[in-house]
Structure 1
């Protein structure tokens, strides 16, 4: 139990310092915590290495995912061990006043930074897919880095009240004369209650509404069926570029014309294999964009599913009556808190697994770092040598578009 919940649990039983969790609960909790910790730390550290050590992964979307991994690592490294310790020693608080205030501050800072990062990723994908002409100017990799810094400033600044709400209180003295302290967050004023409700709305409910709206628009744009010319008839095909991507198509046609030795991007034969390869490349890019968006939607869904129980239970501890707590019972209350916290830590460790399952680019990069990946260097070098004759302007546009969609 974290300090954000512990004092509310104390209302269930005034002799809670004498209460010990059952052995089977402690063992099961420890096993879950250890597995989640190992997988989460290794996975998120690999994400940092993959993006920072691979130049072709240096795009705005991946920088936001790195920011998400940093927030997850903070939760796993600083907050999770404290929660495990409190499973063994419910009371007194043995980590001192500094940790009493630091743990809830870091936990809420990381949670709010994660929410803001997910919103930033959604906005970036919305601009890149629904307004591709503006994407290369609005959200560049350098701007993404500055946005990540701003996210942490907002997240840490908005969590400062927890430094004051978390209190290290003396409650007893042992037979040897040692002072005993507990730690908890207190909503003992109207201002703190307003803040808690405000934070829940601004950093949970409102972002959820925004993410649903943004990704609904993005998915609708990606799944549009644009009429295309085929054998003299107009037909609708999936994976045909959307209206915004026809700008990219025109540049691809220009590329095709140059490779084919023609001065006009429109003079290629209707059934030219070179032209067909260009269209296939565009459709392949659209499929890649869809996979990226579906992966991000999965991350968002799991984020809110895993954190919703913790939010609800925390509000119940803050605003529920002591009689309601006592009706549930001490053991059930602690079990409920443990389940909520496990879900929170699962969210901090599961994102790298999602990247591996849904992104072949991340999967290959992970395997290469682990020394068991395949090498594609020869193929890539051959491709780039064949296309090095392109004009600088068109290659820059192509690289910029790829940076906006590659994952």
Structure 2
């Protein structure tokens, strides 16, 4: 059986459409007594699979669609409605949620429709071309966003001081815009080479059969698009997969080293940090495994269809058919698991999600906000403790100073002794305030398991007497994020 293969972009991955060219006794006369439906069944295969397979696939797709839309929409809403969630990391997560929503909305319903009715294509050529652009562009944007987010994680955990210097929301917005622009440009060849076309013609009249209309890459352009499939696989699977593995290995090594150092310096909490590190490493492995299993079948099916010889055996046809549907399901699963891998597993996100749900019942601050306010207020008290003595006067202190002044006139050594005692008291108060700030930072670090050093840097900010703490601390606080939340 000789089968020609075409690229069907009713979903993003390629689908073959068999054309039976086996010689038939009597030539075209053998088709003269066939109806159009019988002829198309012979040439293009059944319009839908058996009912059991159709129902199972539709149930799976419905579950993926609902779960993915709810998870990604909740992610976007939580980030938009909570200012303390609007960090550089969360900007990438919001972009990822948007790309996943567009993938699910623009592609999955029509993939499900093609399972119910493989042909004819009923949505027009403009929709066919637009869908080819949107599905490819959002797929590329999703992969590039995950890669950029991984790089941000690596910098935040392995190079925290550098992260503190370059962490800028404006820079993140520029990177996200570049990601979408690059995705749009690289996806352009797909809509340019995608058309609606009649796949079969009447064997008697030679006119196109209306029921054979499909949204395809025409056969004459398949050889040209082969280069694009190669570029797509290399740039949007092999390179990102390699980068993600390398960076997450470096992150795991850094977290392990940090946990060992803490275990040596803090024996009481060493077990806690060690168990947390193991959890984070497991989540890093889960991210890599999910990325591989969601995208590898997609690109494998594409290349398998393009490079396969034109002679298809029945067994190869069966393998290709199963690979087509498996790769389609896993492709959409990737857009569904992203909000769970990168957000739901993070306690900070869950706190923000609860706060968003309960906003209509009150404005009770979350634990994360309360911890920030706690060490923010302690930081202000620390700055005040280093201010001029006139700012620290308490009621009744004037009389004491007057008394000290009179006594100093009588005894010159009295003034020096008083100054030494005063400086000692102020130094002790400053140390106590610094300890309060350190305890608050430790609480926030233990509560949210953040390996990021941005919070700890607050303790060492060069706050002078003339510096406004109300502008310095919030500026740093806007860059606080928990890069190990997965």
Using structure 1 for the length normalisation, give the TM-score.
0.76
Task: Please state if 1:207 is matched with 2:235.
Answer: no
Instruction: Give distance in 1, aligned partners of 2:259 and 2:462.
Output: 28
CA contact (8 A) 2:198 2:208 kept: no
Distance 1:389 1:287 in 2: 35
For residue 91 of structure 1, the aligned residue among 119, 135, 138 is 119
Structure 2: which 5+ residue stretches go unaligned?
Answer: 1-7, 21-40, 384-460, 464-471
SS in 2 for 1:67: helix
Q: CA deviation at 1:286?
A: 10
Q: 2:164 aligns with which of 136, 159, 167?
A: 136
Secondary structure of 2:80's match?
helix
Partner of 2:216: 184
- Is 1:9 aligned to residue 9 of structure 2? no
Deviation string, structure 1 residues 360-391 (Cα, Å, up to 9, x no partner): 11122223333399853694445543333344
Q: Deviations over 1:85-106 (max 9, x none)?
A: 1011101111111222222322
Please say if residues 100 and 167 of structure 1, whose CA atoms lie closer than 8 Å, have aligned partners that are also in contact.
Answer: yes
* Counterpart mapping for 1:257-406 below 5 A: 295=283, 298-324=286-312, 326-329=314-317, 333-355=320-342, 357-371=344-358, 376=366, 379-380=370-371, 381-391=373-383, 393=462, 396=473, 399=477, 402-403=480-481, 405=483
TM-score, normalised by the number of residues in structure 2 = 0.65
Quote the Cα distance in structure 1 between the aligned partners of 2:301 and 2:73.
30
SS of structure 2 residue aligned to 1:353: helix
Q: CA RMSD in A?
A: 3.6
Using the TM superposition, name which of 343-352 and 320-329 deviates more. 320-329
Poorly superposed stretches of 4+, deviation over 6 Å: 173-178, 282-293
CA contact (8 A) 1:2 1:86 kept: no
Larger RCO, structure (CA 8 Å, separation 6 or more): 1
* Distance in structure 2 (CA, Å) of the matches to 1:83 and 1:126: 36
After alignment, is 32-41 or 96-105 more displaced? 96-105
Q: Which of 221, 225, 234 is equivalent to 2:254?
A: 221
| Residues 339 and 406 of structure 1, relative CA distance in 2, 3 Å threshold | closer
Matched residue of 2:16: which SS? Answer: helix
Q: How many residues align?
A: 360
Shift of 1:120: 0.7
Contact 1:105–1:159 (CA under 8 A) maintained in structure 2: yes
Residue of structure 2 in register with 1:231 after alignment: none
Rg: which structure is higher? 2
| 1:306 CA drift (Å) | 1.0
Change beyond 3 A, Cα 1:310–1:177: closer
Specify every segment of 5 or more residues in structure 1 that has no aligned partner in the other structure, as ranges.
Answer: 228-235, 241-275
Higher mean Cα deviation, 315-324 or 110-119? Answer: 315-324
